[in-house]
Amino acid sequence: GQNIDQPTEMTATEGAIVQINCTYQTSGFNGLFWYQQHAGEAPTFLSYNVLDGLEEKGRFSSFLSRSKGYSYLLLKELQMKDSASYLCAVRDKSGGSYIPTFGRGTSLIVHP
Amino acid sequence: DAGVTQSPTHLIKTRGQHVTLRCSPISGHKSVSWYQQVLGQGPQFIFQYYEKEERGRGNFPDRFSARQFPNYSSELNVNALLLGDSALYLCASSLAGGEINYGYTFGSGTRLTVV
């Protein structure tokens, strides 16, 4: 199985930049996902990384280092609506299941 | 196009009862996965079905079962409910299972409260 670790809570100021880290341990890495989840709502897909490097998508970017078992989600020009939980999920191919395992999520609070 | 639909949205049951949760995937999606999310935690994998066959099962007791129908909709059944089963149950649909990243689209979930 996987061991996924991310901070429980972070706070940031509107307009600022925040980086949410995720570390993982897995024997058969096959991709890392970031999801955003507002309170009481379903998770929504943000990004997918399977190769090392930075993937940029508007205000959100995601980085992966497979050798270090490390990823981060970078949020720029923070807005109040970015207050949400951010879930890191790792897919493992061992056993042929390819099923993502989620971390417990990082609750981001954006204040004025 | 309708997204992933789950029913009911909220449910209150008493301990020992049985519950059935339903999920309709996005049209054309053949894989459905079920997750349990307890408040303050990330989603925990329960089952994955693809083409009506079970492709994966998480670390949940046998009280939990599921199936997928020919139209790719799915049911999650939980018997002998415990207080600890209170959670948000999420259904995720994707084009297929397997290694190719088709991505997951989640439904809004069913909030189950066991009293």
- Please tell me if residue B48 touches chain A, with a CB cutoff of 8 Å: yes
Average pLDDT for A30-43: 92
> B26-77, pLDDT tens digit by residue?
998 999 999 999 988 999 999 999 889 998 899 999 999 999 999 999 999 9
Average model confidence (pLDDT) across chain A:
93
Q: Pick the more confident residue, B98 or B106.
A: B106
Average pLDDT for A55-74: 96
b/e A1-23 (16+ beta carbons within 10 angstroms → b): ebebebeeebebeeeeebebebb
Of the candidates B41, B56, B101, the beta carbon closest to that of A97 is on B56
Report the distance separating Cα A105 and Cα A66, nearest Å.
20
At A103, which amino acid appears? G
Please report the pLDDT score of residue A28 as a whole number: 85
Please report the pLDDT score of residue B1 as a whole number: 57
Phi, psi of A99 (to 5 degrees): -100, 125
Please report the pLDDT score of residue A99 as a whole number: 82
pLDDT higher than threshold 70 for residue B6: yes
Question: By the 8 A CB rule, do A107 and A85 touch?
Answer: yes
Please report the pLDDT score of residue A26 as a whole number: 87
Report the distance separating Cα A1 and Cα B25, nearest Å.
27
Write the CA distances from B54 to A45, A93, A100, B48, B95, integer angstroms. 24, 16, 16, 6, 15
Report the distance separating Cα A84 and Cα A39, nearest Å.
7
Chain B partners within 8 Å of A100 (Cβ): 45, 104
Report the distance separating Cα A42 and Cα A67, nearest Å.
31
Please report the pLDDT score of residue A40 as a whole number: 85
Strands A3-5 and A18-25: antiparallel
> A77-112, pLDDT tens digit by residue?
999 999 999 999 998 876 666 788 999 999 999 999
pLDDT higher than threshold 80 for residue B3: yes
Report the distance separating Cα B109 and Cα B95, nearest Å.
19
Please report the pLDDT score of residue A90 as a whole number: 93
Question: By the 8 A CB rule, do B106 and B92 touch?
Answer: yes
Phi, psi of A87 (to 5 degrees): -105, 130
Please report the pLDDT score of residue B100 as a whole number: 58
Question: By the 8 A CB rule, do B85 and B78 touch?
Answer: yes
Please report the pLDDT score of residue B97 as a whole number: 63
Please report the pLDDT score of residue A97 as a whole number: 66
In three state form, how does the secondary structure of A8-46 look? CEEEEECCCCEEEEEEEECCCEEEEEEEEECCCCCCEEE
Closest CA to A103 of A70, A57, A63: A70
pLDDT higher than threshold 90 for residue A1: no
Q: Pick the more confident residue, A3 or B88.
A: B88
Q: Pick the more confident residue, A99 or A14.
A: A14
Chain A partners within 8 Å of B104 (Cβ): 33, 45, 100
Please report the pLDDT score of residue B95 as a whole number: 83
- Please tell me if residue B25 touches chain A, with a CB cutoff of 8 Å: no
